[in-house]
Amino acid sequence: MGPGDLQAILKGIELYRDERTLVSVGDDAGVYEYGGTVLIQTVDVITPVLNDPYLWGAVGTANALSDVYAMGGEPLTALAVVGFNSCELEVKDLRKVMEGAVAKLREAKTVLLGGHTIDDKEPKFGLAVTGVCPEGAYVTQSGAKPEQLIVLTKPVGTGVLVKALKDGKLKEEDIPEAVENMLRLNDRASRLMLAVGATACTDVTGFGLLGHLWNVCRSSGVGAELVFGEIPLYERSVALVREGVYPRGAVDNLRFVENVLETELERWKLLLLTDPVTSGGLLFTVDRERREELFRRARKLGVDCWIIGETTPEGRIRVVQR
Ligand code: CO
Ligand code: CO
Ligand code: CO
């Protein structure tokens, strides 16, 4: 996608691969088979998204595990990656970050094996995660077919809230629903996605809803039609964007999808759809016939889910109001 996208950076460089490489650069995680086991590996590092260090550690962990869940895998082990600035991030805060991380890892039954710290101007926290895919039935971004349902499992608009938090316009207590969603693992959403036979899946993070949807469309050779009114948004994010509060990332993301976008929606609405998300939900495509089963299983698993549109044969994204 953007200039910082690893796939774009690697363009033209011939990678070393072997016959055990099943999925490499360009998907949510790499997939590698070794001794009959299908390994799923990924790394994700983020800057402080919340003011509370414990919550930041927990959200960063949910965010890093998410790519394994997006592939339909089960995380097993993790390595911490910590960038710390001795002036800005005191050691006791760093301990709180790790406490939050360890609590989330425990919830995900994932073992922290070690990690690495580095002096960094801006504090960062993340994890390299290894998981497995029990039946070897991993789900990539490239399996979407035309006329499938597009399903999303968490609201979008957290980038706007993170910016407002950083600017001191909000406190964590003002947005309990968004904090809870950022903290929520995508483990059950992943089970839902597998159970209903999703053919393509990704998680919504830094490129925003439209950016990640476009990655799915592009690699699957399909397009999409989204219904704005069906997309779950935080009320607070809507209000802030209308006031002109949004992160630069939303504008950058919009620029990257603009040439494939067909819409008459106002710009503020589009900025909500390209707003960089932290620890967002899964975005997957599933056959129309599975609609009832989707909602039935979602209720049983306790997973929120919204059908936000459908895939189309032509390689563009159309966004309509209703
Ligand atoms: Co991802
Ligand atoms: Co990621
Ligand atoms: Co080291």
pLDDT class of 3 with cuts at 50, 70, 90? low
Q: How far is the CA of 34 from the centre of ligand 3 (A)?
A: 25
Residues 138-152: pLDDT tens digits? 999 999 999 999 999
Which ligand has its closest atom nearest to the C-alpha of 79? Answer: 3
Report the first-to-last Cα separation within the chain, whole angstroms. Answer: 28
163 to 160, 278, 283: CA distances (angstroms): 5, 11, 23
Instruction: Give the amino acid at 210.
Output: L
- Among all ligands shown, which has an atom nearest to the Cα of 71? 1
Domains of the chain: 5-133 (3.30.1330.10), 148-320 (3.90.650.10)
Q: Which ligand is nearest to the CA of 186?
A: 1
Of the two residues 1 and 152, the one the predictor is more confident about is 152
At residue 2 the predicted structure's pLDDT band, cuts being 50, 70 and 90, is: low
Ligand closest to the CA atom of residue 43: 2
Report the distance separating Cα 274 and Cα 252, nearest Å. Answer: 8
Across the chain, mean pLDDT equals 94
HEC profile of 34-62: ECCEEEEEEEEEECCCCCCHHHHHHHHHH
pLDDT given for residue 165 in this prediction: 92
Which residues are within 5 Å of ligand 1 (an ion), measured at CB? Answer: 28, 67, 203
Q: Residue 141 Cα, ligand 1 centroid: separation in angstroms? A: 10
Whole-number Å distance, alpha carbon 70 to ligand 2 midpoint, is: 9
Q: Decide if pLDDT at 219 tops 90.
A: yes
**Banded pLDDT at 243 (limits 50, 70, 90):** very high
Report CA(229)–ligand 1 centroid distance (Å). Answer: 25
- Give pLDDT tens digits for 98-113: 999 999 999 999 999 9
User: pTM value?
Assistant: 0.95
Distance between Cα 67 and ligand 1 center (Å) = 5
What's the CA gap between 117 and 120, in Å, rounded?
9
